[in-house]
Chain A
Amino acid sequence: MNNNEKYENAFIESLGISKDQLNNLEYQAIPEWDSVGHMSLIAALEDSFDIMMDTDDVIDLSSFDKGKEILSENYEINF
């Protein structure tokens, strides 16, 4: 799996949603991505990419797109 696939998969598996929901997806825009879903998402991303995320980044990860930015800028993950 390449990084894009890993990233999408983390969202799909942890939030229990489908791939077509990922476009422009934002935190709290769907019921699955509430604060509990968010915790599950962070755990999944950390696990997939073997990283530990800073609290600030955990809070800033407010959309599907923003998450990619954060992972590439702060955790050297190339998409």
Chain B
Amino acid sequence: MQQNFSYLFGSYECLNNIQNVPKLPIFSDIICDFLNDFSKELMKDTRYRAFQDLMAYAYWIRKSSVESMKKNYQHDLINRLGIGTIFHITPSNVPIQFLYSLTVSLLSGNPNVVKLSNKKFDQVSIVVDILNILSKKYSFIKNYIILLRYDHDDDKTTFLSSKCRIRIIWGSDNTIRQIKRIELPVRSRDMIFSDRFSLCLIDSNYYLSLNEDNKKDLANKYYIDTYYTDQNACSSPRVNVWFGDSEQSNKAKKEFYFKLNEKVMDSYEINEISVVDKYSKLVQFSCMNLGTYDADNSYNNIINVMNIKSLENFPFNMKGNSGLFYDYDITDINQLISAIREEWQTIAVCGINKEYLLNKIIERGVTGCDRIVDIGKTMNLSLVWDGLDFILQLSKIIEYK
């Protein structure tokens, strides 16, 4: 049954044959060489420099970085290979999420069918251009990468699902529920990446002890974590937790947002729709009596901050974008730990010992919180996502004792 997909890369013939494509060992030479050239193509054209996400990706897949990642799987290189065809359903909120998903799967040794969202991003066109350039040198790649689009259609999703060993779904809880209704082959499974929630934890006393340059640097880093993606990434902090006594925390907040405003004024353009959206959320929250809002601190609607009364009762699914933050004060780290929920993904820290926080979380045995990183590093790429190691998840071992 020939389905009418819109192919950005690859063809129906390749799609039809995908289950016969040989699985590769993890970190195979041909894939590593291909990614190395992909990185070079991205970095050499200065037109692409405007896309920081593409540049960060190119940096991540550069030769030395891939070799370094490969070392972590040294003992498995001999008998670990791709598990089968991977069907990726990728989101519309982060332009190159599809590329990340595809890359980890290629490194795991699998052929891939990637359903892109219908949102037209420049980054997608650039990736397709480069794939076309590289397919001359790496002719095998058309068997391992199929990029396609289609409007919501259960028949098409059923068809593609029937070909895969693992269906990776990146999306909202609703999207995931809809797709999970569609059957998979008996031995196949879903891998789910749903809405997550991230926070920041700042030691107020430590923040106040920083010099002006360091405070400015922190503001730049926080900007990358938040405004750079309009707070669309699930790793973007929504709630800023301030650890310290109330006087210190209030002082720290004032300075922090002042410095952030300087950066945002310099680098960010907000539109009216975003402002209206922020205000409607603030009104909703106020009506739900979740906290207080001081309009004098609104920094021309570019930064809006609400003080929330409780972390436990905070409706995480009502998070905002384009500079909407919630402040929460604690005087004891346990107040944060006891509030950890399943949806929490990243805690970005300033002035907090990461290992100390890690141990606190492990002591408690909670299932939420998969990452503890420094502010500025929430967007860093890694083979581990939401607590799962992609290489191990998307490959299999052949035991040969």
Contacts and interface: CB of A to CB of B under 8 A. Distances in A.
Secondary structure at the B interface, as helix, strand, loop or mixed, is helix
Interface in A20-79: 36-37, 39-40, 42-44, 46-47, 51-53
Contact of B67 (A16, A37, A40, A52): A52
B49 A36 contact: yes
A60 B232 CA distance: 31
A46 B55 contact: no
Contacts of A16: 46
A52 B63 CA distance: 9
A37 B58 CA distance: 12
A46 B64 contact: yes
Given A16-B46, A36-B49, A37-B49, A52 B55 contact: no
A52 B68 contact: yes
Contacts, number: 35
A39 to B, nearest CB: 4
A35 to B, nearest CB: 8
Residue of B39, B43, B46, B58 with highest tally of chain A CB at under 10 A: B43
Contacts of B46: 16
Nearest to A45: B64
Nearest to B56: A39
B49 A52 contact: no
Nearest to B54: A36
B63 A39 contact: no
B59 interface: yes
Given A14-B43, A36-B55, A39-B56, A46 B62 contact: yes
Nearest to B59: A39
A53 B62 CA distance: 12
Interface in B15-60: 39-40, 43-44, 46, 49, 52, 55-56, 58-59
Interface of A: 13-14, 16, 36-37, 39-40, 42-44, 46-47, 51-53
23 contacts: A13-B44, A14-B43, A16-B46, A36-B55, A37-B49, A39-B55, A39-B56, A39-B58, A40-B43, A40-B49, A40-B55, A42-B59, A43-B40, A43-B43, A43-B58, A43-B59, A44-B43, A46-B62, A47-B40, A47-B62, A47-B63, A51-B64, A53-B64
